[in-house]
Amino acid sequence: MKNEKAVVVFSGGQDSTTCLFWALEQFSEVLAVTFDYGQRHAQEIDHAKRIAETLGVSLQVLDMGLINQLSANALTRDSIEVEEQKDGLPSTFVPGRNLLFLSFAAIYADAFGARHLVTGVSETDFSGYPDCRDTFIRSLNVTLNLSMDKQFVIHTPLMWLDKAGVWELSDELGAFDFVQTETLTCYHGIPAVGCGTCPSCVLRNEGLKTYLAQKAGAEA
């Protein structure tokens, strides 16, 4: 794959930044695409721009404000609390987000002659989001190819990794410190370690603690 182009769906968070480093190892040319969908932590767009510039990656920000008009959820409405649900999807689920993001990423990729798409979805730590499942990604891959008469390949390097595994992968890629200090994962828009209490921060920080413990045990 070293002589091919790839487009990374990029938010500036831990997962997509790890995927960006992964893609830079795998492909000769990497482009990134970020989506502005009226997210409450709009700082993620600034983080994405900063990271892309630091890594020398071309970044395109696409306006997807229509999502904000159609869907009321905790990521697009300050009035809705960020919380997990005992029954049903978390309040942070944005219906159709990955379907739209990957579809537009494919259109963007086609314009540049890229056939590889990279996204940081994971079925292991996916908070119950149906559009992070492997079955959805494989189905969408077929649909995109049929709809555009292309041979796209959607890569999901994190699909079977828990958050400790994502930290391990970033370490293997030589990006551990960068991911730890430069990314924005927090639902409340606080970079690096974040607020420490929202579901995204808890998942990230518990994964970090687990990985560091595993690494220390392996080195002992």
* pLDDT score recorded for residue 198: 85
Residues 119, 105: Cα–Cα separation, whole Å:
10
Residues 212, 214: Cα–Cα separation, whole Å:
5
pLDDT under 70 in the chain at which residues?
40-41, 67-95, 125-127
**For 65, which DSSP code?**
T
**pTM attached to this predicted model:** 0.90
Name which of 149, 106, 150 is nearest 8 in CA terms. Answer: 106
Report the amino acid identity of residue 66: L
The 10s digit of each residue's pLDDT in 148-176 is 999 999 999 999 999 999 999 999 999 99
Name which of 98, 101, 96, 99 is nearest 63 in CA terms. Answer: 101
* pLDDT score recorded for residue 73: 46
Q: Which two tokens stand for residue 70?
A: 């159609």
Tell me the pLDDT of the chain averaged across its residues: 88
